[in-house]
Chain A
């Protein structure tokens, strides 16, 4: 409770600072962003790329990184608990779900960091609401912009084309930015306007050469140009990208990210997801969940291999999260219900592989038989913002101070 009040004070201060900021001026925004401008310039020089993979639906962390060494796990999950002999053991306490050969490989190579017990106070059990909290990094509150969008604004207070890419059918709240127009597409071949052939010529027309006094009109012209250019660039990048690496059954957009990196996009921030609440395993969980994790691990391993092939593996880090974990005791349908604290992952060459954070107790549960988190999820965000991207902007982006995990040293 006390830390929450502290965070609220930070939120008030940061918001006050941003209240005076002119929202859409082309000059760097004062207040909040000016003091990170230097850090942003440094970050720009280091060229690092951050990729976020969202697993929607509430991934069951306890059946992903299984605490097989704890009896309570089997006591509370007599049917859904995974037998020890099936697990891909990491050590004498934890083992990975049998489907995650890809993650086991990364773990052995020291390129996988597992962060335990991540969550937030007064957790919501609604997919929609909890995901919005993760997207805005404003639990039990709200923000006009996404945390990823705010990172983009901190990295580059001036708008830059194609700075943020969101692989999805609709723009995620996470990437909503004050300054940048995120490029949002799902199928690169379909990232285009529906129009009849004969309309194309007129649709390609740009704005008038005359200096436009209406600033909103100028903004719209910029976005229209970005749409024309980005859609063309994305389609070309995709067409030229050789499918040499096996990403498994469902690449989860990571191959499209690799294609953009390979094409030399200036993009530093990529966001993609395993969509449609795929991980919402209420019923007959085990087979399905193992499949989902197999696809996920295969896609992530494929992505890492592709980055190595492209010679950019040192510049890219991946963060994986879900909007909540699942309830500790299984339900009566051989599944699990919505929960709270969860594991997160960081993957990449520069990751300090191993366990981070504190695994939550399986017996000291809250009033709804759910895990009590041991770290606020914004610590993981701070890890990405300051630890990886080196922005020194985590406090202003997250509107509070959250200590990064030592994932990136």
Chain B
């Protein structure tokens, strides 16, 4: 078990030197591109280990890179893919707030549907209609909005739970595969409106992400979150709804153009009756069309599983999935011939993901200059890898993880559509590039103006809710208190002569929105707003840095995946010297922290920081 503490201080210059010597200035197509044979021990080094850790995980500290490098090329990949030698991930289960009750299980599709149900049954979602008085359905509608808010806030906590796992797990590929599959089998709580289903789907992806694709596809097709998201319940015998079948074929398995409309219609028939009850999959046999279907050249009384098997028989399916994995983990540019080879590889492995990933991540193609440091980190990867490289043990509460990554275009558990997130260069626009640098500043110099939105509603209806809150407490009647705000001046709120008359109505939506919020935050556990406790001085000093130049090289090696050029290093070092009034870190030790943080912000603001 080689451990090399003495190597630490020499590690950084070596890494940086290796990075700049890495065949990144080679001609158009390198000799390693397209070569799936594994990299040999002679070709293995710390830079390659860093690249592996970056792609199969979320990057790591120099110590973690060194430990991975010491395993050799085959051992390192087996460690990442099969967790050989990795400690048990004794990570805490999701700590539920306890916002759910059984009556919410069959949640109506909309507020009008809820109030219609209440009108006809005398109750809905576990709340009875009041027998007398004004706004007899108010409690029902309050609970409706309570659940929307509570499920959303709990899903934000779920995002935090997942981000924390990404940060500390000794098995990062497990979480990275879940992230990949989450973008592939995209499901958003926005529509699902049930954090329990999102948790169930996430746990399934974490458990099966490196398993076999058949289990994954069937599991997702029977997953309550997915069934809710794609309106599977309306797909019934005699009235098949194509949406579910279409997305399974177009987005999840075969890719557009590899089936006909007829195939989709037949597949839809096979999925009829597939439904869910709460968090469990259920088949309504009387709604299932058990007749013979013909699709993709096969005929039979297929049910959903049968159709999935037919889909898996198609060569194009393995090609599609293999291609998607390659583009995510290696690089965007994939020529059709290589894609077919990868598809064959996946097929020959019985659609098992782990051996496929082992080949991919061991290959010379993976380590070719075309593949190394050419990938733009998604917002979640950027945030998690930043925290990992800072050596944090928990995801900070400020900046809020979901707000930060959401502002950069990716919020966990809320993909914009069923097509997931467009990857690669889509992550970066001029404004977003500036925003990524602003995220770094928020980590290093926290925003003291930050107000947590799980205690102080801000977005969307936030201002309205707060206005209702103030007015109701001031003793106004509900009609007056819920008059819409006029944000742009010219408030005409007292102009109506019936202003002070409390309207006779079944319920007031705006009041319900307010009360629902209040009920939700009473139940949902707060996200702890801890800040990253950083000690960059200790970090660079214990790495043996003595001068400003050392600090620049060390931070460059630790945080970037490419090398800067000498003039840039010079500028950065001169910056630090100006800040500290000296280039001697030892002399400046007691006051170097601010300067080092500014220096790190400058490094993290470089366009190169987006590369992984």
Identify the A interface with B (CB < 8 A): 5, 8-9, 11-13, 15-16, 19-20, 22-24, 122, 125-126, 128-129, 132, 136, 140-145, 170-171, 173, 176, 181-185, 191-196, 198-199, 201-203, 205, 207-208, 210, 213-217, 219-221, 223-224, 226-227, 230-231, 249-250, 276-277, 282-284, 287-288, 291, 295, 331-335, 337
When chains A and B are docked, how far (Å) is the Cα of A236 from the Cα of B489?
29
When chains A and B are docked, how far (Å) is the Cα of A15 from the Cα of B254?
13
11 contacts between A and B (CB under 8 A): A136-B417, A144-B419, A171-B431, A196-B598, A208-B564, A214-B369, A216-B374, A231-B434, A249-B488, A284-B482, A335-B509
Cβ of B510 under 8 Å from chain A: yes
Contact B190–A126 (Cβ < 8 Å): yes
Contact B432–A184 (Cβ < 8 Å): yes
Contact B611–A11 (Cβ < 8 Å): no
Contact B112–A227 (Cβ < 8 Å): no
Q: 4 new A-B pairs (CB below 8 Å) besides A201-B575, A205-B571?
A: A144-B422, A192-B434, A199-B575, A291-B490
Chain B residues with CB under 8 A of A140: 243
Chain B residues with CB under 8 A of A15: 256-257
In the complex formed, the residue of A with least CB distance to B369 is A213
Contact A231–B598 (Cβ < 8 Å): no
Contact B488–A295 (Cβ < 8 Å): yes
In the complex formed, the residue of B with least CB distance to A136 is B417
Closest CB pairs A-B (n = 6)? A142-B419, A227-B430, A220-B607, A144-B422, A184-B431, A142-B417
Cβ of B438 under 8 Å from chain A: yes
Cβ of B333 under 8 Å from chain A: yes
In the complex formed, the residue of A with least CB distance to B26 is A213
When chains A and B are docked, how far (Å) is the Cα of A34 from the Cα of B131?
69
In the complex formed, the residue of A with least CB distance to B250 is A141
Contact A183–B243 (Cβ < 8 Å): no
Closest-CB distance, A368 to chain B (whole angstroms): 9
Cβ of B584 under 8 Å from chain A: no
When chains A and B are docked, how far (Å) is the Cα of A201 from the Cα of B578?
12
Closest-CB distance, A183 to chain B (whole angstroms): 6
Of the residues B190, B407, B430, B568, contact of A231 by C-beta under 8 Å: B430
Chain A residues with CB under 8 A of B492: 287
Contact B508–A202 (Cβ < 8 Å): no
**Given A132-B417, A333-B508; A288-B430 close (CB under 8 Å):** no
Identify the B interface with A (CB < 8 A): 24-26, 110, 112, 190-191, 243, 246, 250-251, 256-257, 261, 332-333, 336, 369, 373-376, 407, 409, 416-419, 422, 424-426, 428-434, 437-438, 441, 459-460, 482-484, 486, 488-490, 492, 496, 503, 505-510, 562, 564-565, 567-568, 571-572, 575, 578-579, 598, 601-602, 605, 607-608, 610-611
Chain B residues with CB under 8 A of A201: 571, 575
Closest-CB distance, B191 to chain A (whole angstroms): 6
When chains A and B are docked, how far (Å) is the Cα of A183 from the Cα of B429?
7
In the complex formed, the residue of B with least CB distance to A234 is B430
Chain B residues with CB under 8 A of A122: 243
When chains A and B are docked, how far (Å) is the Cα of A165 from the Cα of B417?
23
Chain A residues with CB under 8 A of B482: 283-284
Contact B429–A184 (Cβ < 8 Å): yes
**Given A16-B256, A208-B568, A216-B611; A181-B419 close (CB under 8 Å):** no
Chain A residues with CB under 8 A of B441: 194-195
**Given A9-B261, A171-B429, A332-B505; A142-B562 close (CB under 8 Å):** no
Contact B433–A224 (Cβ < 8 Å): yes
Contact B607–A224 (Cβ < 8 Å): yes
Contact A144–B426 (Cβ < 8 Å): yes
Contact B429–A202 (Cβ < 8 Å): no
Contact B565–A208 (Cβ < 8 Å): yes
Closest-CB distance, A115 to chain B (whole angstroms): 25
Contact A195–B601 (Cβ < 8 Å): yes
Contact A214–B373 (Cβ < 8 Å): yes
In the complex formed, the residue of A with least CB distance to B464 is A283
Chain B residues with CB under 8 A of A207: 607
**Given A332-B505, A333-B505; A210-B565 close (CB under 8 Å):** yes
When chains A and B are docked, how far (Å) is the Cα of A214 from the Cα of B484?
54
Chain B residues with CB under 8 A of A22: 333
Closest-CB distance, B450 to chain A (whole angstroms): 13
Chain B residues with CB under 8 A of A136: 417
When chains A and B are docked, how far (Å) is the Cα of A396 from the Cα of B493?
50
In the complex formed, the residue of B with least CB distance to A184 is B431
When chains A and B are docked, how far (Å) is the Cα of A8 from the Cα of B508?
42
Chain A residues with CB under 8 A of B579: 198
In the complex formed, the residue of A with least CB distance to B28 is A213
When chains A and B are docked, how far (Å) is the Cα of A333 from the Cα of B560?
57
Contact A220–B428 (Cβ < 8 Å): yes
When chains A and B are docked, how far (Å) is the Cα of A13 from the Cα of B251?
16
Chain A residues with CB under 8 A of B567: 208
Chain B residues with CB under 8 A of A276: 459-460
Contact B610–A213 (Cβ < 8 Å): no
In the complex formed, the residue of A with least CB distance to B447 is A194
Contact A24–B332 (Cβ < 8 Å): yes
Chain B residues with CB under 8 A of A196: 598
Contact B417–A129 (Cβ < 8 Å): yes
Of the residues B333, B418, B438, B488, contact of A142 by C-beta under 8 Å: B418
Of the residues B332, B431, B484, B507, contact of A191 by C-beta under 8 Å: B431
Contact B484–A288 (Cβ < 8 Å): yes
Contact B433–A220 (Cβ < 8 Å): yes
Contact A16–B434 (Cβ < 8 Å): no
Contact B602–A217 (Cβ < 8 Å): no
When chains A and B are docked, how far (Å) is the Cα of A269 from the Cα of B568?
36
Contact A337–B112 (Cβ < 8 Å): yes
When chains A and B are docked, how far (Å) is the Cα of A227 from the Cα of B483?
42
Closest-CB distance, A2 to chain B (whole angstroms): 11
Chain B residues with CB under 8 A of A170: 407, 409, 431
Contact A12–B26 (Cβ < 8 Å): no
In the complex formed, the residue of B with least CB distance to A181 is B429
Chain B residues with CB under 8 A of A192: 434
Chain A residues with CB under 8 A of B333: 22-24
Interface centre among A13, A122, A224, A277 (most CB of B within 10 A): A224
Of the residues A193, A215, A333, contact of B434 by C-beta under 8 Å: A193
Chain A residues with CB under 8 A of B374: 214-217
Chain B residues with CB under 8 A of A142: 251, 417-419
Chain B residues with CB under 8 A of A205: 568, 571
Chain A residues with CB under 8 A of B190: 126, 128-129
Chain A residues with CB under 8 A of B112: 331, 337
When chains A and B are docked, how far (Å) is the Cα of A141 from the Cα of B256?
11
When chains A and B are docked, how far (Å) is the Cα of A13 from the Cα of B482?
51
Contact A214–B24 (Cβ < 8 Å): yes
Contact A199–B602 (Cβ < 8 Å): yes
Chain B residues with CB under 8 A of A5: 261
**Given A23-B332, A125-B110, A216-B375; A193-B605 close (CB under 8 Å):** yes
When chains A and B are docked, how far (Å) is the Cα of A379 from the Cα of B466?
41
When chains A and B are docked, how far (Å) is the Cα of A185 from the Cα of B375?
25
**Given A202-B571, A213-B369, A283-B508; A227-B433 close (CB under 8 Å):** yes
When chains A and B are docked, how far (Å) is the Cα of A168 from the Cα of B598?
29
Contact A203–B426 (Cβ < 8 Å): no
When chains A and B are docked, how far (Å) is the Cα of A19 from the Cα of B316?
14
When chains A and B are docked, how far (Å) is the Cα of A109 from the Cα of B511?
44
Interface centre among A132, A140, A142, A173 (most CB of B within 10 A): A142
Closest-CB distance, A290 to chain B (whole angstroms): 10
In the complex formed, the residue of B with least CB distance to A335 is B509
When chains A and B are docked, how far (Å) is the Cα of A22 from the Cα of B433?
24
Chain B residues with CB under 8 A of A332: 505-507
When chains A and B are docked, how far (Å) is the Cα of A80 from the Cα of B465?
24
In the complex formed, the residue of B with least CB distance to A218 is B607
Closest-CB distance, A168 to chain B (whole angstroms): 9
Closest-CB distance, A58 to chain B (whole angstroms): 13
**Given A12-B256, A142-B418; A176-B426 close (CB under 8 Å):** yes
Chain A residues with CB under 8 A of B246: 141
In the complex formed, the residue of A with least CB distance to B109 is A125
Contact A249–B489 (Cβ < 8 Å): yes
Chain B residues with CB under 8 A of A183: 429-431
